[in-house]
Amino acid sequence: MQAEIKHIKEKYATSEDICDLKLEVELLKSSSTSLNHSKKLEGNKQKVPDSCGGRSAENSVAAAISAEDKAVRIVTHHTPERSGQASKSLHTDAGNKINNAFRETFSHVLQNENKTQNFGTNEWTVVKRKKKLAYNRFAGNRGVATIKPEAKFKAAQVCVPMYIYNVDKEVSEKDIMDYIQEKTGLLIKIEKMTMKIQKEYNSYKIFVPKHKESVLMNDEFWPEGISYRRFIDFKSKNKKDSDIRVNNI
C-alpha cells in the first residue's frame, strides 16, 4: 500500500486512478475488519492484537485519504489529458469572477467621482463648480516707446487733483512750484483755495500727472508739517453759494 501511495505521489493522478484507489481502500477496510473478526473467533491462528490491527488499519486509511487529497490537489493544479476540460472551466470561472469584481469596483469609483453632494433634507442638490476668473475685456495695454521731443504724436497728459494744507502764509505759489520742479522736474498747475472759515494757514490745490501721483503721495516728498491728500470736491448746500467750491479741514 505504501508503495502505491509513493507511486501516486511521484506521478500525476487521474480521476480513474482516484476511483481505483477508493475501491482499494474500501476493500482494505472490509478485509481488515473481517480478518480481525475471524481472529477473534478462531483464536488458534496467528495472534495479532486487536489494538495493533485497529491502529494499523486506521493508519493505512488515513494515509490513503491523505494520498487521495494530494492526488485531488495535483489534478486541480495540473491539467492532464482526461480532465483538461474540467480544470480549464474551473480556471476560467475563477478568472471571470475576478474580472467582474474588478469591473464592479472600477464602476463604483467612477460613480462616486461623478456623484454630487446633497446638503440638507430637502430635494435640492447643490453642485459645486470652480469659479471662473474675472476677465475684463476692456482692459488695455500701454506703449513704452520713446519719442523725440518735437514729435506731434504723443499721449495726453491726464492730471489728478491733490490738496495740500497747513502751508505757511508767507509761502507763495511760485515757491511751491519751484520746490516740486526741483524734486520731480514737473511744471504743475497750482490754485490757492478760498476757505469759508479763515485759518492760520493756507491751502492749495495742485494738478499732478497721473503717472507721477505715487511720487507726490509720499511722506518723504513733502516738508515736515505739510499735510496732503487727494482732493475732494465739496459743494455748498446753500443756493447762494452753490457755485463756490470749498475744502475746509
38-55 residues labelled b (16+ CB within 10 A) or e (exposed): ebeeeeeeeeeeeeeeee
Query: Is the overall model pTM greater than 0.95, yes or no?
Result: no
Sorting pLDDT into bands at 50, 70 and 90, what band is 63? low
Instruction: Please check whether residue 22 is in contact with residue 82, taking contact to mean a CB–CB distance below 8 angstroms.
Output: no
* 26-50 pLDDT per residue, tens: 887 777 666 665 666 555 444 444 4
pLDDT band, very low/low/confident/very high, at 242 (cuts 50, 70, 90): very low
Res 140 pLDDT > 70: yes
Higher pLDDT, 88 or 235: 235
The helix (H) or strand (E) run that includes residue 51 is: helix 50-77
Q: Percent of the chain scored above 90 by pLDDT?
A: 24
Helical H segments across 135-208, by residue range: 173-184
pLDDT(170) > 80: yes
